[in-house]
Amino acid sequence: MTRKHPPGPANFNAAMGLTWRHGASLWWNPIRFVTRLGHTYGDLTFFRIFSGRAYVVNGPELIRDLLVVKQKSFRKLDRVRMVLGSGFGNGLILSEGPQWLRQRRALHSIFHPSMMARYAQITVARTRQLIDEWRGRERVELDHDMTRLALTIIAESLFGADLSRQAAHFSRLAFELSNIYAGEEYSPFVLPDWLPLGGKRRKRAIVAEFRGLIRDLMDERRGADQRPDDLLEMLLGAINRPEVEGGMSKDQAVDEAMTLFNGGYHSSSMGLTWLFFELAKHPEIFARVRADADAVLAGRDATLADLPALQYTSMVVKEALRLWPPAWEMFARENVEEVELGGYQIAKGGVFLIYPFVLQRDARFFPDPLRFDPERFSPAREPSIPPFAYSPFGRGPHACIGAAFASMEMVLVLATMVQRIDWCLAPGQPRTVQPKPFIAIRPAKPIWIQPRLRIAAETPRATDEFRGQEVKGYKTEQVS
């Protein structure tokens, strides 16, 4: 006979939920709280949030059951819809059932291999542009510049728009909106967006500016002589054919564009930030990435066709996404009917939480998990990783539709950068950086690096600053 609830931290009672000590820990440092849950209680953890029942799923097979085998028993949590609904409406990220399937099929074409080749060209061109901007600068704010880079890449790839001049403005707005979303997600109560409160007014203003940008891009495209085959063109075509499957209203088209626009640069910008941060701390790995890029590219620009050959570079990207998955948590789900999970019969209305950040730092699946070790993803070792233990872009039918785009982008940005510049941590930049949970996991404070243009005649090895430094035994610091 199954027990009533899985193990978990102490609850005050059935009405009040967690004790004050545990509740404060969840509020002030949710990353540390859920990490301790995973390490202490294993694959399935139970606790109460006031009278609500929360279950943290931290086992690959249980995650597979939830996301694939028993997916029809679950839906996205209404709280998530309340927090994100004003920005993303009924876009792919929030829709369910038959409508979600229609939207997924309609949007799938924008990631066809023929389109990805053009995205690859844009990625390399915009990366080279950023390298030119870094010439002569003693230090750069890594997370800020990676956000600008990701924003310009996604805007040009999916919308044919040059937002380089507005990138700094929109990256600041994106950071502020992400902060608002995170605060509302972990607030004990979610208030309606229409309330005349200062925070709600600011949220409405930022959302309106983002959605207005999308509408302006659509209006400009309608009158353009040249109309590239991209997301914007597909959405305009769908608006013009509302009577067929895949057709949509203008508001629905804006919802889809907002979903891909925001999701694309949030995840890519933070993935690149953590990737560059780790390489700045690991010069031997940096040198191997450079040797990989030099051997494959020999100084020319990378293309989509080069991805299979950039094997070690891809391994480094995968390891960075393991240690620092941008989407540190998957969207919470609730069970719409009684369901069995992990040997427990769970009544309808439970809240289910999955944290890739915790799972991908679990020593059961990744020995010495805090060590930055790209060899985990070598052809010999990668097959031993349980499939649902590694999920930086989600898993199952609702996995991120842009996962291949984001992975391609990170590999090509890295290969382009290492051919042309060195970088290391700027003086005074700590090796330990506290992560903060926003839409994507971000550094709590700016990360500063020193870029230095590579000498063209240099052979593919580390520069004097990096040469001879031993990195064996380096570990990424434990989150405190």
Domain ranges (residues) in the chain: 1-88+326-359, 98-324+393-453
Count Cβ atoms below 10 Å from residue 168 Cβ, excluding itself. Answer: 15
Give the tokens for residue 317. 């990207």
Q: How far is Cα of residue 359 from the mean position of the Cα atoms in its chain? A: 15
CA distance 133 to 127: 10
Q: Are strands 17-18 and 448-453 parallel, antiparallel or unpaired?
A: unpaired
Predicted local distance difference test score (pLDDT) of residue 293:
97
298: left (phi over 0), alpha (psi -120 to 50) or beta: left
Query: Per-block average pLDDT, block size 10, for the chain (480 residues)?
Result: 75 62 72 85 86 89 94 89 84 83 82 88 96 93 93 90 82 82 77 89 91 88 79 81 66 87 85 96 97 96 96 98 90 92 93 93 95 97 94 84 91 97 95 86 93 63 36 39
103, 95 contact by CB (below 8 A): yes
d(CA 129, CA 200): 37
The DSSP H or E segment spanning 154 is: helix 142-159
* Per-residue CA distances from 149 to 268, 272, 313, 408 (Å): 9, 10, 19, 14
Measured in degrees and rounded to the nearest 5, phi and psi for residue 303 equal: -130, 175
Token pair of 152 as six digits: 């310009």
CATH architecture of 98-324+393-453: Orthogonal Bundle (1.10)
Q: What are phi and psi of 297, to 5 degrees?
A: -100, -25
| φ, ψ for residue 129, nearest 5 deg | -65, -40
**Best CATH choice for the domain 1-88+326-359 from the list 3.40.50.360, 3.30.43.20, 3.40.605.10, 3.40.50.300:** 3.30.43.20
**Strands 351-354 and 52-57, sheet pairing:** parallel
Distance CA 56, CA 362 (A): 14
270-297: string of b/e by CB count within 10 Å (b at 16+)? bbbbbbbbbbbbbbebbbbbbbbbbebb
Alpha-carbon distance 77 to 66, whole Å? Answer: 14
Backbone angles phi, psi at 367, to 5 degrees: -55, 145
Long-range pairs, 457-460, Cβ under 8 A, ≥24: 460/290, 460/291, 460/293, 460/294, 460/295
Which has the closest alpha carbon to 356: 321, 316, 383? 321
One-letter amino acid for residue 213 of the chain: L
d(CA 376, CA 326): 19
Q: What is the pTM of this model?
A: 0.88
- Burial (CB < 10 A; 0-12, 13-18, 19+), residue 258, is buried
Look at residues 328, 324, 311 and name the one whose alpha carbon lies nearest to residue 279: 324
